[in-house]
Structure 1
């Protein structure tokens, strides 16, 4: 009878009275019986205004079955049943919890998010085995000091409350690995936080912080620090010594200078968009050896240094909405998968090149590196502006490696277009803005060389197998056509990273896409997609961007929250009711967290 140990001291009537049933109707007896076997009880979304007494006393009182003199098999003897270790009472209408909480001393997980709690009972100190406590999306204004007694706590989730301060002694939670205090009213972070030496993830976003304590650098294991949406004007220079830091979010603050990170050799993502940064210098870049994502959008940058080439690992660079008038040609040497430069007063790159996307911009910049003198520069400009009556832009084939026959409103691509390639090696094909009803069969002749194909704004209703032979294809644009399916043979596109299927007639996400493991970006907005398979989506480990805007999704499967690799998930314009618009506005991380919290246990 180990499950009664420690509780009997507090309740002298243990085992000698029937289970109280004043609130029993709220919890089916079958659910309680199952909880005694599994040690887990989920009462989420039952409109409870208070926790039924039978829940608090589940390991104290004799079960209903025993009171009815029902026989128990060897495996069902109630006194040998499992102590409750996991209790979920989220998404209810609870305004308070009673001190009866102490009757569940074996709890390791307590999830009470999305209620109306204004405080926590002092008895919470007796849940010494607790490892995860989720009190997010409540109305807490203060935390009881007793919470610092939970020395085994590893995950503490306090986001979306009304907290203005952190209690004294918080640093005693030395086993804490994941702490989320985002969307509160904090104005300071205690210097004692540095004692949280096990902390791996810290979310301080959407508070009112004007500064961070220098002592924060003492968190030697911290990998993920989110300080988005605060009032920070600078970050302490000591942060440069946080050797374990991998993800740093500083969006929507008041930073005027980009921090330097000489010791942060593992830093993979740096997000400093929507600040007031004016200068990006070599000193800011030289130590970012491992950086994969650099977000500098919506600042006041006027230039990008040639030293940007130091970031050889960089995959995603966002420079949109700054004051940049020109880009260094050396930028073309980077192996970027995503480059955003919209909203800048660029004078050196024509709008039509920018509109063609990342790879076209990089190719253009690389081509400018090769320009040794005015004559070649002039010829390149000529190649970009040949008169419209010229049927084939041979110069673009030779110089930019592009086979461009776009915006001709033709129903067939003439043979002379393919003939013009001759022995030249091209990497891009642009047949967009025509009237093509099928893909030209001669495209198969380019299968050994082409990596980018643009067939957008045509009248394609099916994809021919010739396209599936382009095994070097990494980027495929099929937007604004009449497509409602894709052939299974597209599995052969073993290098495909980006596919744009927007403005077509798809009713489901094409099955073949789940079987292309290299896919990083799927754009399928403005279709009629009614469902996605979250299990198959989770298996797509490289998928970073999924655009499902303006489709017919009536519900979003909670399991989609397990797709933790997604950095951009766009769901606006669908008829589902949850997540609410307020959640969607908070961005991908908030959406995924919301969905994960609603996965049935």
Structure 2
């Protein structure tokens, strides 16, 4: 499209402009006069920056800059306060400018696929409207904790990266329904995953996962992809220890947690005056066999669960998956009929 053609668009009040695949090395100046633009497509070009004059596009909602030569977030983006969808896939991004990123508060959809990002800055947490984040095929080793403050997120894609773990706070993403993490190096899923009560699709295929979190049964999964992981196999392991000696702290904690169940207990009434103790006890777990609470001393076990029958997962290539279980004592482990196995690592 030649510049005279762009000028003619001024009289038509153009709402969208497509300059994709036109071998552009710079943005034509007349675009800055198209103040009625809502969508600007400039993918498949050779752009390595955006000019400041684009800040005149105050109503722009959609920007597609995919498959260009951008090495950093264009600074002009921070002035586009109405931007809703931003495509930056297939560029050369190695770093996201925190100042620019923090200004994208209206962005709902952000596509950063096929770049060279090694990390996301904490300012990703400023994208308060974000619902879909796509990070496929980068070099990310971890996701920042601040990502978990984005409670509107419904979908995260981070396949083909170098992720080794997920934030422990992932359970705060209460609206998350689709999580794609295949082809990474994830060894363990955080227990917080069990709090995602709207998670319908989980793709964790091609990682280093051995076991699923204890509350996997609370996740309403419809699709689970976990093939190509070294999942634990159903091989019995017998206990050789009949009793353990609990620490004084553990004994005291179990006694207090037993007492607070009684509404008339003096301990229950007094614990409100000891917030430190209350916070400590809030981290307690419950035994999968006897359901009693315990603090620090526990035995890690596994139960092999039928994905379709017991977890009600409609689509899962693995008929049985291993789910972590915590037991409070060897006494519970040695009791009959519970179906838990001890975890033995090579």
**The TM-score by the shorter chain falls in which range?**
0.5 to 0.7
CA distance in 2, matches of 1:140, 1:245: 30
Are 1:131 and 1:154, in contact at CA under 8 Å, matched by a contact in 2?
Answer: yes
Residue 11 of structure 2 corresponds to residue 106 of structure 1: yes
Aligned equivalent of 1:174, options 55, 58, 62: 58
1:354 Cα offset (Å): 7.2
Q: CA deviation at 1:102?
A: 4.0
SS of equivalent to 1:308:
helix
- Say which of 109, 124, 137 aligns to 1:224: 109
**Alignment TM-score, normalising by the size of structure 1:** 0.40
Structure-2 residue corresponding to 1:334: 219
Q: Higher strand proportion, which one? A: 2
How do residues 402-421 of structure 1 correspond to structure 2 at under 5 angstroms?
A: none
Pairwise CA distance, 1:263: 3.3
Secondary structure of the equivalent of 2:224? strand
3-state SS of paired residue (2:52):
coil
| Contact kept in structure 2, 1:306 and 1:330, CA below 8 Å | yes
Q: Which has the larger radius of gyration?
A: 1
Q: Displacement, 1:100? A: 5.6
Aligned to 2:46: 162
Per-residue deviation, residues 149-191 of structure 1 (Å, max 9, x unmatched): 2211100011112222212222221110000000111112223
d(CA) in 2 for partners of 1:212, 1:329: 36
Q: Distance in 1 between matches of 2:174 and 2:234?
A: 28
From 274, 282, 286, give the equivalent of 2:160. 274
How many angstroms apart in 2 are the aligned matches of 1:379 and 1:306? 18
Whether contact under 8 Å (1:332, 1:363) holds in the other structure is no
Query: How far, CA to CA, are the matches of 2:186 and 2:28 in structure 1?
Result: 45
Separation in 2 of the partners of 1:349 and 1:275?
30
Shift of 1:138: 2.6
Q: How many pairs align?
A: 264
Superposition pairs for residues 248-263 of structure 1, below 5 Å? Answer: 248-260=133-145, 261-263=147-149
How far apart, in 2, do the equivalents of 1:306 and 1:333 lie?
11
Q: Whose RCO is larger (CA < 8 A, sep 6+)? A: 2
**Residue from 128, 133, 136 that aligns with 2:17:** 133
Identify the residue that residue 197 of structure 2 maps to in structure 1.
312
RMSD of aligned residue pairs (Cα, Å): 3.2
The superposition leaves residues 332-357 of structure 1 with CA deviations (integer Å, 9 ceiling, x where unpaired) of 22110111101101124699967999
CA drift of 1:297 comes to 1.0
Q: Which residue of 1 aligns with 2:337?
A: 376
Answer whether contact 2:212 2:322 (CA < 8 A) is retained.
no
Q: Distance in 1 between matches of 2:47 and 2:121?
A: 24
* Distance of 1:265 and 1:290 partners within structure 2: 6
Closer/same/farther in 2, CA of residues 157 and 99 from structure 1, 3 Å limit: same
Q: With structure 2 as the length reference, what TM-score do the two structures score?
A: 0.68
Which of 182, 187, 207 is residue 322 of structure 1 equivalent to?
Answer: 207
Give structure 1 stretches of 5+ with no counterpart.
1-95, 108-128, 381-601
